[in-house]
Amino acid sequence: MNLAGYYGTFVFVPVVDGTFIVERPTVTITGGRLNGEVLLAVTNAHEGNIFVDQSLTMDISDYVSTVFPDVQPWQAAMATPLYQGLGTNVEQANYAMGESIFICPTYYLLQAFGNRAWKGEFAIPPALHGNDVSYYFTSDGPPYDNSEFITAFSNGFMATAMTMNPNDRYNSGDITPAWNTWVSGHTEMMFNETEAGAPSVYTYTTDDALLERCL
């Protein structure tokens, strides 16, 4: 049955039933009801691509209407100016899918956790959903097998688990710069590599256009 669903979507999903799930998670989060002390959130640069048929030709408004059938036509039409300039129709769909199911919910959590939350982005090409897993569990050798990068990427998680702060260094070889909380100027940490193959770890500011699409 799930295979008969629209490409990249899942037929069986949680729903608000008023008993087991009493409200939408966004409502719970906005109300400050959080199951955690701190948040370290890392998303991948191209989260949505594997959930989109790469031969897709429909425009972004039609795509939004197809993926979210309860959205009103006027609401779907609002996607056109928001995604205009973000490449081809399929590239816009890639962004819309990734942002709707992974990226935007992350920013909702970051807002809710306030000064107890840090944000990073994994961008080692192709940076698809799940590509970061081999850098958490490196026994099989990640595609970009660079010890400096692996140390930098893993330190934030280990430090947060041990001290609730990704800035606490337990490895002197960590090249990660000071990592401000996201609420402090919408700061994020980029984990990437240069064209020459050197690790590239630096801070940057969340794109305002992305936040407009999400928030």
Burial of 144 (0-12, 13-18, 19+ CB in 10 A): middle
Q: What is the pTM of this model?
A: 0.94
pLDDT band per the 50, 70, 90 thresholds, residue 46: very high
How far apart (Å, rounded) are the C-alpha atoms in residues 134 and 145? 10
Structure tokens, 203:
């801070």
Cβ-Cβ contacts under 8 Å for 152 (sequence gap 6 or more): 174, 175, 176, 191, 199, 201
Burial of 153 (0-12, 13-18, 19+ CB in 10 A): buried
| Domains held by the chain: number | 1
**So what's the pLDDT on residue 11?**
82
- Backbone φ, ψ for residue 207 (5° rounding): -60, 125
Q: Identify the domain containing residue 200 by its residue range.
A: 2-214
Query: CATH number of the domain that 63 lies in?
Result: 3.40.50.1820
- What does the pLDDT average to over 57-68? 97
